[in-house]
């Protein structure tokens, strides 16, 4: 929605949200938070996880900044497919050399299961 006017707008008192409700406009603090979430992060978080068996294993805990996706790649050297999901189910298949991205606030939300111990994943994400 746009506003066309022939006068200067000095102050907005209300704006419409997605549901058509009146809300206060974003102040400078909120605008900076949005910009920080959308901006590139200054460094990368990266680690490898190698499974020790064939049951689901939780990835180590690493905080992931808001708006950042986590890239998971199965090394070409994996003997077989690994499976990714949460603590209850790992339905996503990742073939050797395959990748998948997940949107989580911490890498410990991700579980990996392998058909043979020693297979694993590389994990990469923008880090604050």
Dig out the tokens for 77 from the structure. 């050297």
Task: Show the DSSP H helices in 6-126 as ranges.
Answer: 28-38
pLDDT tens, per residue, the chain with 128 residues:
566 667 777 777 788 888 888 888 878 888 887 777 666 777 899 999 999 999 999 999 999 998 899 999 999 999 999 999 999 999 999 999 999 999 999 999 999 999 989 999 999 998 87
Rounded distance between C-alpha atoms, residue 59 and residue 47, angstroms: 10
Which run of H or of E encompasses 75? none
Q: Where in the chain are the domains?
A: 43-127
Domain 43-127 has CATH 1.20.1250.20: no
Instruction: Determine contact, residues 30/37, Cβ cutoff 8 Å.
Output: no
């Amino acid at each position: 929605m746009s506003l066309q006017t022939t006068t200067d707008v000095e102050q907005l008192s209300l704006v419409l949200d997605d549901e058509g409700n009146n809300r206060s406009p974003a102040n400078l603090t909120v605008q900076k938070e949005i910009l920080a979430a959308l901006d590139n992060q200054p460094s990368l978080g990266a680690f490898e996880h190698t499974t020790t068996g064939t049951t689901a294993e939780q990835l180590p805990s690493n905080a992931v900044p808001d708006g950042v996706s986590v890239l998971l790649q199965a090394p070409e050297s994996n003997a077989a497919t690994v499976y990714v999901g949460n603590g209850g189910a790992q339905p996503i298949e990742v073939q050797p050399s395959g990748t998948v991205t997940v949107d989580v606030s911490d890498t410990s939300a991700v579980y990996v299961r392998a058909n043979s111990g020693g297979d694993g994943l590389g994990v990469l994400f923008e880090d604050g």
